[in-house]
A and B are shown apart, each in its own frame.
Chain A
């Protein structure tokens, strides 16, 4: 098992979520940057859906009580196992009794730590992802014990493989949403031309962007939404729904981010700037 000595800012267990339950209002959830989570799993020849740790901004301090293969992918932090520095995007053999800690975040936001065989917390509705309004625990707490299979030195691993998610992306790609056509030409132009920033309102549910567009009133009845759906509020605020977003929404859906761009946005933090490029989808 792994003992949580310090939890870090927001560390949670995530897999690829609960997409079949969207029709009954359960958010998809799962790793914010799916590509990096899957890459960490791939390094250990885990299933893509194996549960990993999602480490956000500040790393936890963890003690291993058993040997284990682990792999890191995503944001860049200095990673220390006891006093030795460890690399991302390559499997690492950790011995029982060793301590894992993290230095100051250098680039990106979210780092994924896979463990051979995945974390073995109790699945709920087909997923081990910790999720608000659903899981009894939504993030790691000091003193928790994380279950996993104990590792064997000769288990299958892959030597090196990088995540395709860019850190500090300057371009976010999106398709036109169903209500894009109702924006006025100035607002449509604004989406294409403006440089946007991630506001301080950003979490696993949504990212609010700055600046806002001009006010936009449209009578709209509630409809389905997905992670990556970009909504505009009546006062012109732009909200990008992220992995843990609700499944329906009442605001106009002006854009839909590409899968890769949801991952890329998950690696941007408050104040990071980027432009939006609108692509055709036919």
Chain B
């Protein structure tokens, strides 16, 4: 799990990475040009206002040419309106770029997620992926659209102001701007520290959320252990940290702003001092002095902005690294070029070229190792004939799930091969196999939407009658009919509004609708009442009829009816045969069976009450 902790950003500016990222902007080239053009214009107009002041003072006031004021006022007003329009357009255009980049990144990421191998999901927590796809993508697109244009704004404004100052009086310009380097250093230092401090605050904040979460979920346990006081003590430690780090961050900001202001006032003071002297010597006009003073005040805004953006770029880079690492992950299981050419890829399958699946499956000397070298299967051989039902029995970690994952080609053999209808399945496309696969999970997973939509997931072009027929077949329609909106009932997020048993029935119906040739059943153990259990049992029988099927079974009734039972231990088949043969053997299966039988009977007796 360590690899998935919130990584720290790298301090080095990674030019290669940013080059790659700038490519995201290529589709928005034209908009970007407009946006940059606008922001340069905005900066220029911002910088022009003091010059207008200067003109007005020198011409209207000092020389008294008041007649021109009639033209001046509307022009001035027009410039303001023009500037407002620019601001509007710039925000609208940059917003368009931001949302576009965000959309593209998410789509690319999502497509990649659909292609990534199953093993990727074994290693990567969903929360990690979610964070990459939501907040990281958002920060990245924000930076790419706003950050860069803001930087250009700051830069162009600085250039314009400097140009104006130097044009008016280069000596005074040099004197007034002498504080700028100090300001730049102070800004870069503080912005970095402030951002770091807020990062600590956010981390502490998520610890507090965790603390609350645990406090609430563990409240009953806390009560029985009488640990309220010590829990509160520990929590107060957290909130104490929070207070400390939040105050540190706030104090840093509270220190930075006045510092900028004071440095600014030194610049203004210098302009007043030396400029005032020149005015008195009558080598400079009043208007120029006022313009100088306004510029010294205005100059600090772009510096502050740029310092902030540079600090943020470092975090954006961290986001960029994480997003790119997701997008650049190569799937471990890929179809070969020839296969894709013939059968199509995941997004554009060539169904016409798909041979039908019969369901004869052979493992030939299959060895499977995890990436870390842990061997799960070695030289494993198995032949499952078309239509046969195989039950896999064994403890957690015995390798039975691996066998099933290999059949589904969620994993591929490290050595040896798996034949489906006598062809190595690597010579067929993944989608070909998986489209012919029915899979019912231990914890059935439904998608938000109606019951009908969920069943139809099995075959998208199924008619309403076919959907309902599938539901009837597994006896799901009995409970569906009792619901107010029947098939149009919303199942809630993750199917949360239905019981586990109901969800299971729907997932059976979904699988049956798909009419797969190969069936995999990862059976649930508990949380189903006896009555539902019997219904599900008959549903299973119907689903499995005539199909090649693998069952990871816990419930005895299911195991008993399998054609062949494989007892797996440490990746090897230690017992094999049908129920009666294995009972007779009085081996592992016999023990397992008798123990479990007792448990089940006891539970049933207690439930029947």
Partners in one complex: no
Interface positions of B (Cβ within 8 A of A): none
